[in-house]
Amino acid sequence: SMQLKSFIEVEVVGKDDDLLEIKVIACNGRYLGTTQVYDNRDSLRNFVQQLIDFPKSIDHIIYYEAGKRAGYSFLALKFYCTDSAGHAAVKVEMEENTAMQSGTEQDMIRLEFHFEPNDLIAFQKEFKKIITEGEGQATLNGIEKYTYNRT
């Protein structure tokens, strides 16, 4: 079977004054999903600012969402620690709803993966840059599944 990588890729695909349209692709090595959501720069900046120095404690959680559940599209990202050693993971929820002649076609996915602190730092910097510039992409690379064979 194909071994996919774990990652989140965020790309700015449109901008209108303070509003950015972002396309997000996420994969945890097994599931892969994508959605496009709109958010304003302040909301995005606030989220990205919170990623600095994560995790501050083992119960530190960062939650971000854009769009609306059962709406046109939805994205939720939850950064949290998985154990007392401070290993960190991100949980991704995505939805995209397309109006079809026969009604609404709804796609949904939930996945999560672990990542290294250094990769979050790189993602935070890239993400901040694309918000400011209104273009480009930012990627958070995850730890590959097979290095995490704890059951």
Helix axis angle, 117-133 relative to 41-50, nearest 10°? 160
CA distance 36 to 130: 16
**Six-digit token string for 123:** 């993602």
- Provide the whole-model pTM: 0.91
pLDDT (tens, 9 = 90+) of the chain, 151 residues, equals 567 899 999 999 999 989 999 999 999 999 999 999 999 999 999 999 999 999 999 999 999 999 999 888 999 999 999 999 989 999 999 999 877 777 778 899 999 999 999 999 999 999 999 999 999 999 999 997 654 445 4
- Which residues, 6 or more positions from 23, have their beta carbon under 8 angstroms from its beta carbon? 10, 11, 13, 34, 35, 36
